A and B are shown apart, each in its own frame.
Chain A
């Protein structure tokens, strides 16, 4: 049990680089009073990438910067901006990388075309199989 104090100390230790001592921003973990606005803000937050934990959305991330971004999203939605306006504002600063929703840029065309190409290939394969069976 000599380890116990050490374990407690480890549990209390804060991550070295991660956090400030300020409390989270007001709207970071608080829902907007208007449920429709909150729903809009929430849907957008699910699609905005966290800058710290790249791969998580700001809705999922515990990073302080993600909290501040949730605060920013809720404030802008509450002020009457549309989710697309807020998304556009963020994309202007961080590039389309910040948004999980694929855009219609030329770079993403293969993504949109892939299902059609795969369907066409499938249809071709089926036709050849059926055709081959009928022949003899």
Chain B
């Protein structure tokens, strides 16, 4: 056996370990991204769920200026902190609409009373149908929708306070 060949198993082992260490250090992105970025919001019409707040349909989203569509639920713990950030965005003049996934009216009303209410409209999605139609895989998720009703950006997971400038920039880009 030649000298070089003798070290082949060792080389393979080193390569294997290097590969494993690299994958451990930089984990794979397990988020499922919607393929609808750049496409119109699928047609939907969701009924109202909270008294005094209109429901949400896809035609409401094409309003001539960018809006933030937030897929959320009162039973979703990260959504509690995200609502505060959404209110910051609302204070900056951003219109936020909500799709309430698998929610009940009393639960949602209590959630909004406790955490504040940044939403202009909230549509009730009791069987996650609009959520699936949007290519969303969990709560919370947010979509930047431009004035013509085209999805321009999808944000997976809660919007953190530190991400407000980035979201504002995405909304600006969608103008």
Interface residues of A (CB under 8 A from B): 16-17, 19-22, 25, 51-52, 54, 64-65, 68-69, 71-72, 90, 92-95, 97-98
Contacts and interface: CB of A to CB of B under 8 A. Distances in A.
Contact of B75 (A19, A68, A72, A94): A19
A19 to B, nearest CB: 7
Interface stretch (B5-13, B19-27, B101-109): B101-109
Nearest to B104: A21
A20 B73 contact: yes
Top 6 A-B pairs, shortest CB-CB distance:
A93-B135, A20-B102, A51-B137, A68-B128, A25-B127, A22-B102
Contact of B32 (A16, A72, A97): A97
A71 B128 CA distance: 10
Nearest to B101: A20
Contacts of B104: 21-22
A93 B102 contact: no
Interface residues of B, number: 27
Contacts of B112: none
A25 B101 CA distance: 12
Contacts of A69: 128, 132
User: Which of A54, A93, A94, A97 gathers the greatest number of chain B CB atoms within 10 Å?
Assistant: A93
Given A20-B101, A71-B127, 12 more contacts: A17-B76, A17-B77, A17-B78, A20-B103, A21-B75, A22-B102, A22-B126, A51-B32, A54-B32, A68-B128, A68-B129, A94-B135
Chain B contact residues: helix, strand, loop or mixed: loop
User: Which of A21, A22, A69, A97 gathers the greatest number of chain B CB atoms within 10 Å?
Assistant: A22
Contacts of A19: 75
Interface string B8-40: 000000000000000000000010111110000
B105 to A, nearest CB: 11
A72 B137 contact: no
A58 to B, nearest CB: 11
Interface in B135-173: 135, 137-138
Contacts of B137: 51-52, 65, 94
A94 B73 contact: no
Contacts of A16: 77
B132 A93 contact: yes
B75 A20 contact: yes
27 contacts: A19-B75, A20-B75, A20-B103, A21-B104, A22-B102, A22-B103, A22-B104, A51-B32, A52-B138, A54-B32, A64-B128, A65-B131, A65-B132, A68-B102, A68-B127, A71-B127, A72-B129, A72-B132, A92-B35, A92-B36, A93-B34, A93-B35, A93-B132, A94-B32, A95-B32, A95-B33, A97-B32
